[in-house]
Amino acid sequence: MNGQYIPITGRDGEFSAYRAVPASGTGPGVLVLQEIFGVNHNMRDICDGLAEAGFVALCPDLFWRIKPGIELDDHVDADLQRAFQLFGEFDVEAGMTDIAVALAHLRKDPACTGKAGAIGYCLGGLLAYLTACRTDSDATVGYYGVGIEGRLAEADALDRPLLLHIAGKDQFVPAEAQARIHAAFDEHAMIRLEDYPDEDHAFARPDGDHYGEQSAGVANALTLQFLKQGLT
């Protein structure tokens, strides 16, 4: 871990965010949107990796309204059950308020060039999609977002690039939902869909049960290329 936690003053209170900065000291910003396990080591590792790639990464604690500082391990049964409980308790609209605040904070970060985008996983994949649709994020990436198919009309307002990675065997995004996403977005000028037919949910999480090293490598390379194009 080479980053640190910083406070952000939101509209309804203060919350923390993990911040990682490239060795150069400056770079475009990327807001990292958490899975249902909170800002845990996986999210911090993603931030650190983005910093190594030249980005200023910021991962806000989006569960702070429920309980600040939640950090869960998907390999622990009790943590897994708690994570699904948090998914049910999470207020998406309140979370989007915090995301907008965090994105504005990132743009004003002294290390940020002013360009800023977002990337999200699982719950964060849905939030990344909404971030692309509702905010001024310059380029946005979502990995296996859950529930996008229920919010397709949001993309009518989308005018900046969005990349969505879709796991073909995603247990939380069934084939019917994927078909609806494709039908709505295949011809959308701002949206790029990338499919991984043999992968399950969370295939890009290195220590996860469904990690697909080859597909994750392809997805992550596309993501970095997409962010560099959109943010530099």
What whole-number distance in Å separates Cα of residue 28 and Cα of residue 5? 19
Candidate list 109, 138, 200, 201, residue with the active-site label: 201
Predicted pLDDT of residue 2: 76
Is 170 within 8 Å of 200 (Cβ atoms)?
yes
Look up 198 and say whether it is catalytic.
no
Question: Structure pTM?
Answer: 0.97
d(CA 62, CA 15): 8
Contact between 35 and 72 (Cβ < 8 Å)? no
170 is catalytic: yes
Q: Which residue has the tokens 């002013």?
A: 114
Catalytic residue among 61, 109, 138, 170: 170
pLDDT at 95: 98
Q: Which residue has the tokens 């000028």?
A: 189
**Strands ordered across the beta sheet of 4-9:** 4-9, 14-20, 56-60, 27-33, 112-121, 140-143, 162-167, 191-196
Question: Of 160, 110, 111, 104, whose CA–CA distance to 132 is shortest?
Answer: 160
Give, for all 232 residues of the chain, the pLDDT tens digit.
579 999 999 999 999 999 999 999 999 999 999 999 999 999 999 999 999 999 999 999 999 999 999 999 999 999 999 999 999 999 999 999 999 999 999 999 999 999 999 999 999 999 999 999 999 999 999 999 999 999 999 999 899 999 999 999 999 999 999 999 999 999 999 999 999 999 999 999 998 899 999 999 999 999 999 999 999 8
pLDDT at 1: 54
**Domains in the chain and their CATH numbers?**
4-231 (3.40.50.1820)
